[in-house]
Structure 1
Amino acid sequence: MMRRLLLLLALLCGAVPSALAHKPSDSYLSLDVKGNAISGQWDIALRDLDFAIGLDQDGDGKLTWDEIRQRHVAIAAYALGRLSLSSDRGVCRIDAGEQMIDDHTDGAYSVLRFRVACPAPVAALTIDYSLFADLDPQHKGLLRLTRDGVTSTAIFDPAHARQTLSLTAPDRWKQFRDYVKDGVWHIWIGYDHILFLLSLLLPAVLLAAPSNNLRGAFIDVLKVVTAFTLAHSLTLTLASLSLISLPSRFVESAIAASVILAAVNNIYPLFRGRRPVAAFVFGLIHGFGFASVLIDLGLPKGSLLASLLGFNLGVEIGQLCIVAAFLPLAFWLRDTWFYRRLLTGGSALIALVAVVWFVERAFDIQAQTMGAWAFAAK
C-alpha cells in the first residue's frame, strides 16, 4: 500500500511541476537617477540563477556562500547582458559593482549592485529587459525607478520587454494598469489559489438541484467568493503596508493545507454548511501569499497604495473570470454521472496534489526528490 501511494505521489510530482507550487519567478530592479548617473540594484532569485547558469558546483542540492561567490562574475555577466538602458542621447554604460545575498519572502536572492553612466542628464529612460526570457516565459521583472524622491514603477515580461519611462511626468495610469494586469495574471497562474476556490465552488451547483434553477447556486457562490475576497483583501493590504508579517514558508504551507481541507470537504464534510466561513478564514492566509509581490518590491507608500489597489483589483477580475467560466458549465453538468464523479474523484486528486505541495513547502523537499524516493521503494 505504501509503495502504491509513493508511486502515485511520484506521478503527481511529474505531472505538476515543482515551480507551480511556489511563488512565480520575479526579479526586483531598483534604479535611482541623479543627473546622468544611475545607481542600480537587482535582486534575482538564487534558484532561478542556479537553473540558468548553475551555481551548485558540487551538485549536493545546497548553495553555499563560497559557491555563489565563485560565480559572481558569471552572475553579473549573465544578468547585465540581459539589461540595456538608454536615454534620448544614446546608450548608457553599465558597470557591475558589489554582490550580496538577501532573503525575500520566497527565499534567498542574489543582490547585484551596479553603476550606470548616461551621455547626458536623463529625462526619459528606455529599458530593455530580457532576463530569463528564453527559459521562463512567465518571469517578470518589477522595476522601481526613483528620481528626486518621485517613484515610478513598471513590470517587464517577454511581451513587454522594452519600455520607455518619463522621469519628468510619470504615467501613473499606465503603472496602475500594469498592476491590474499583474494581479489578473497572478491569480491565473496561482494554481493553489485556483484549486482552493474551485474546491469550494464544486458543491455549489448541487444546491440548486432541488429547485432546478441557477439562483441557489449563484447565491452560494456569491457568499463563498465574497468571503474569500474580503479576507484576502484585508491581509493583502495589511501585509503590503508592513503592518503584519508572517514567514513565507508558513504562509505557503498553510495555503497548501487549505487546498487539502477544501478538497477533502467535498468527500467527507468538514465545514458542514460553513463553506463561506472556511473561505474567509483561509482567505486571510491566501492574502499573505498575494502580498509577497508588493512586499519584495519595497515601494514607498505613495506608489504602494496605487499599486496595491491595482493589484488587488486585478486579482478580483481574474477570480471573477474563473467563476464566470466555471458556474454555467458546472450548472449544466450538475445532474450528470460525470459531475458527481468529478466532485469526488476530482476533489481527491486536488487533495493529493496539495499534499505534494504541502510536503514540498513545509519540509523544503523538491518534487524530484520525492519521485526518487517513490521509485526507490519499488
Structure 2
Amino acid sequence: MRRLHPLPLLFAALLAALGATPAAAHKPSDSYLRVLVGPAARAGDAVAAPSDTPVRLRWDVSLKDLDFLVGLDADGDSALTWGELKAKRSEIAAATLSRLGLEADGVPLTLRLDDLLVTDHSDGAYAVLAVGTDAEAEPATLAVRYRLLFDADPTHRGLVFVDAGEGPSAPAVLGPDADATRLDLAAGGGRSAASFLGFVREGVYHIWIGLDHVLFLITLMLPAVLLRSGGRWTPAPAFAPAAGGILALVTSFTVAHSVTLWLATTGWVEPPSRLVESVIAASIIVSAVHNLAPRLPLTGVGIAFAFGLLHGFGFASVLRDLGLGGTGLGVALLGFNVGVELGQLAIVAAFFPVAWLLRATAFYRVVALRVGSALVALLAAAWLAERALGLEIVGF
C-alpha cells in the first residue's frame, strides 16, 4: 500500500486553519463606552440634560447585541422597532449594567439607566444608554471592569474612552483576556501607550477573524512559489526571490489599505458599507479566477495594491465609529495598521515554508492552486450574492 506523504496533508490542514473563522452564533461586535467626568458629565448633550452629576456614562451598544442578550424582536419579524426597544428597557438595564463595574478612587459606584435612545453606526443601529452614577465628587482615578457578551461571544470588544471636558481620550480596548482598565483622570485618562498596544492586538485579531481578508491574502500567495511559463505553472527555482515576492505582496496590500483606511476613518471618503463589502467579495473572485486563467494586466504586487485599496474601506469600519481626533486617532490608526501587518506576516510565516516545500508536487499545482482557487471563487461568489442582494447563503 502506498504511503501518503505527510506534507500535502499538513498543507491542507494549514489552509483549513488559516481559512477558519470563529464558529459563534453571534457576529463579532464592539460597543463604545464613554466615561464623562466633570465638565463633560455636567454638560448637556443628545443623551442627557445638563446636571450637576460629576460622573456619568454614554454607552453605545448594538441592537443586534441587545437582541442576542434579551430578545428584542418580540414579533419575530427580524425588524427591531423603537417600541420593542422601549418595552425591554428594564431587561436591557439588568443585562448590561450587571456586566459593567465602575470604581471612583477605589470606591464602587452604583449605576442606573437614566435614558435610552437610538443612533446609527457604520454597521447598523445602536442603542444609546445614558447611565448615571451616585458619584458625589470628581474622582482622580476610575477603574472600569467590562464583561458584556464575553461569556457568549469571545470576539466581542468594549472600547472605553474618558472625557473630562477636552474631548475623548484614546480608547482602551477590552476583551475576555483584558476586561478591566484604570483611567488616570489627572493625566487626561492618559493611556496612549496602552491604547496603542490595544489597537495592535485588535489589528492582529481583525485580520485573523476576517475570513474574506485571509482568503484574499492566501489566494494572492498561492502562485507566489511558482512561475508562469508557456501557459503552465512551474516551480520557482530560488527561495529568496519567492520569499521577497511574498513580502512585497503583503507590504503592497498593507500600504494600499492604509491609505483608504486613513481616508475613510478621517471622513474624507465614506463609501456605503454594503457596497464596500460587496466589492471586497468581488475582488476575491477576480484574484481566484486570475490564478486559474491569468488575464489581468497586473503582477501579484499590482493586484495586491489595487484590491488592497478596497479592503482598506472594510478595515475602516473598526475605527470609524470611535469619534477620535488628533493624537487619539493617530494612535488608533498606527496601532491598528501595525497589528494588521503583524497578523499578515504571521499568516505568511505559517503558509510560505510549506508552500515552498510542496511547490513541485502535483498536489500543490492541482489541488492547492487550482481546486483551492476554484473553491475560494465559489465562496466569494456566495458572499457577493449575500452582500449585494441581502441573501442568506453561507451565513458567515
Which residue number in structure 1 is paired with residue 200 of structure 2? 180
Which residue number in structure 1 is paired with residue 343 of structure 2? 318
Which residue number in structure 2 is paired with residue 10 of structure 1? none
Which residue number in structure 1 is paired with residue 375 of structure 2? 349
How far off its partner does 1:211 sit?
5.4
Distance, in Å, in 2 between the alignment partners of 1:112 and 1:307 is 24
Structure 1 vs Structure 2: percent identity of aligned residues? 46
Amino acid at match of 1:154: A
Amino acid at match of 2:84: E
1:44 to 45, 48, 61: 61
How far off its partner does 1:104 sit?
1.1
Structure 2 residue 139 is matched with structure 1 residue 122:
yes
Which residue number in structure 2 is paired with residue 275 of structure 1? 300
| SS of equivalent to 2:142 | strand
2:237 to 196, 205, 212: 212
How far off its partner does 1:130 sit?
0.5
Amino acid at match of 2:290: N
Contact 1:86–1:118 (CA<8 Å) still a contact in 2? no
Distance, in Å, in 1 between the alignment partners of 2:181 and 2:376 is 40
Structure 2 residue 120 is matched with structure 1 residue 103:
yes
Contact 1:29–1:40 (CA<8 Å) still a contact in 2? yes
Q: How many residues align?
A: 356
How far off its partner does 1:98 sit?
1.8
Distance, in Å, in 1 between the alignment partners of 2:274 and 2:26 is 10
Amino acid at match of 2:69: A
Distance 1:342 1:113, change over 3 A: same
Amino acid at match of 1:192: D
Distance, in Å, in 1 between the alignment partners of 2:22 and 2:155 is 14
Amino acid at match of 2:31: S
Contact 2:159–2:174 (CA<8 Å) still a contact in 1? yes
**1:2-21 aligned within 5 A:** none
Contact 1:27–1:142 (CA<8 Å) still a contact in 2? yes
Distance, in Å, in 2 between the alignment partners of 1:175 and 1:253 is 31
Deviation string 1:114-144 (CA, Å, 9 cap, x unpaired) is: 1223254211111110000111011100111
Which residue number in structure 2 is paired with residue 360 of structure 1? 386
| SS of equivalent to 1:51 | helix
Distance 1:26 1:160, change over 3 A: same
Distance 1:130 1:220, change over 3 A: same
Structure 2 residue 35 is matched with structure 1 residue 31:
yes
How far off its partner does 1:89 sit?
4.4
Distance 1:201 1:20, change over 3 A: farther
How far off its partner does 1:343 sit?
0.8
**1:330-349 aligned within 5 A:** 330-340=355-365, 341-349=367-375
2:214 to 169, 188, 194: 194
Contact 1:207–1:217 (CA<8 Å) still a contact in 2? no
| SS of equivalent to 1:358 | helix
Distance, in Å, in 1 between the alignment partners of 2:318 and 2:61 is 13
Distance 1:343 1:358, change over 3 A: same
How far off its partner does 1:312 sit?
0.9
Deviation string 1:198-246 (CA, Å, 9 cap, x unpaired) is: 1011000013955521123123223322221111010111111111111
Amino acid at match of 1:132: L
Distance, in Å, in 2 between the alignment partners of 1:330 and 1:50 is 44
How far off its partner does 1:69 sit?
2.3
Distance 1:158 1:210, change over 3 A: closer
2:175 to 157, 161, 175: 157
Structure 2 residue 312 is matched with structure 1 residue 287:
yes
**1:290-309 aligned within 5 A:** 290-309=315-334
Deviation string 1:54-111 (CA, Å, 9 cap, x unpaired) is: 1111112222222222222222221111111012241112121221222211111112
Distance 1:327 1:165, change over 3 A: same
How far off its partner does 1:310 sit?
1.0
Which residue number in structure 2 is paired with residue 240 of structure 1? 265
Q: TM-score, normalised by structure 2?
A: 0.83
How far off its partner does 1:148 sit?
3.6
| SS of equivalent to 1:207 | strand
Could you say which structure has the higher helix fraction? 1
Which residue number in structure 2 is paired with residue 229 of structure 1? 254
Structure 2 residue 97 is matched with structure 1 residue 93:
no
| SS of equivalent to 2:153 | coil
How far off its partner does 1:157 sit?
0.6
1:69 to 76, 86, 103: 86
Distance, in Å, in 2 between the alignment partners of 1:329 and 1:22 is 33
Greater relative contact order (CA < 8 Å, ≥ 6 in sequence): 1
Amino acid at match of 1:166: D
Structure 2 gaps of 5+ residues are 1-18, 40-52, 229-233
Distance, in Å, in 2 between the alignment partners of 1:242 and 1:301 is 14
Distance, in Å, in 2 between the alignment partners of 1:327 and 1:16 is 18
Distance, in Å, in 1 between the alignment partners of 2:227 and 2:142 is 56
| SS of equivalent to 1:101 | strand
| SS of equivalent to 2:306 | helix
